[in-house]
Amino acid sequence: MKKTFLCIMAIATLGCADQPQGSNYESWTAMPGYQLDSNLRSPIKFFPEIVSTSIDKFNTTFSPDGNTIYYSATSQKLGITGIAYQKFDGNTFSQPEFVPFSSSDTPIADVQISPDGNQLLFATFKHYEGKPEGFNFNLWSSSLKDGKWQDPEPIGEPIASSGNEFYPIMTKNGSLYFNSDRTGNSDIYFSRFENGSFQEPVPLPENINSESREADAFISQDESFIIFVRVDEPDGFGNSDLYISFNKGSNEWTDPINMGENINSDQIDGSPYVTPDHNYLIFTTGRRTTDIQKRAMTNYSEFKSIQSSSENGSLNFYIVQLDLAHYKNLAY
């Protein structure tokens, strides 16, 4: 099983137009060619018991060379959330570690790496001078220097508001997309980076920002498409579903399309990430294996085994082939 998932990621990164010089993508693609079931057209768990484990985790992002995965790890029982990472060593991913500024005092989450790999963006409610009044999450950034993430700094105004800002993601031209409830409902915004600073945030149009709650927007580096979450939508399959829309220019987007029951489940689905070649979607889900509850009650030993595995219903990561042409045909 482990070899299968290694091959999956080798194929996912093959032919990537955005590969940086000196990357180690070659080591992924040079691995032996194992058989893949149905070309990964149905979601399967991402590196089970290695990356996807018994611990709740959400939102993924990768270093530009594809060799380091970052995500948010959380424990509701302990009331803590931090940013973890794992490095690919040519055979598998390393044991998880927290970034140096994770702490038990203040939760940090919704990590994203900038396209050039030099910024680590995230959300937290940590206080800073000039922070808008009230209890609110704002966006922060850490810079990479000499291979180490530095003490983070708040992005501040005009991004920060008295509401909450989450899920920052940066495009190649420096624009920042995020979701905010500054007007009372969670909607998706973007801010252009011009003359060395972020400009006043602009909401996406009403066919994207609906009366429902929108969040967790993945924007392609060229801003050609967006995949985001809608919560409790009438045409949804679960608590939250993934939708896709295509950029028509001038802040006009095609009407969002639910990505379907092949991707969305009857549980939580969210936090999308698309590989730079646009071939694979990795997302967070709370889906369960068929009959897992029945199996868990077979005997106590089985119950204990399932509880300590990625089958325990925890939030984890799944990967699936992304057919952009199919969704584009539906959109136009």
pLDDT per residue of the chain (332 residues) written in tens, 0 to 9: 333 333 434 333 333 333 333 343 333 333 333 233 445 778 888 888 999 999 999 999 999 988 899 999 999 899 999 999 999 887 788 999 999 999 999 999 999 999 999 999 999 999 999 998 888 999 999 999 999 999 999 999 999 999 999 999 999 999 999 999 999 999 999 999 999 999 999 999 999 999 999 999 999 999 999 999 999 888 899 989 999 999 999 999 999 999 999 999 999 999 999 988 888 899 999 998 888 899 999 999 999 999 998 889 899 999 888 999 999 999 99
Count of C-beta atoms within a 10 Å radius of residue 4: 14
- The DSSP line for 56-76 is EEEEEEE-TTS-EEEEEEEET
Please give the pLDDT value at position 31: 35
Of 23, 31, 29, nearest in space to 3 by CA: 31
Q: In whole angstroms, how far apart are CA 90 and each of 26, 34, 166, 168, 277? A: 10, 15, 33, 30, 20
Domain count, the chain: 1
Of 259, 256, 158, 171, nearest in space to 214 by CA: 256
Q: What is the pTM of this model?
A: 0.87
Please give the pLDDT value at position 30: 37
Please give the pLDDT value at position 75: 93
DSSP3 helix / strand / coil % (the chain, rounded to 5): 15, 35, 50
| 119: CATH | 2.120.10.30
Domain that holds residue 287: 2-331
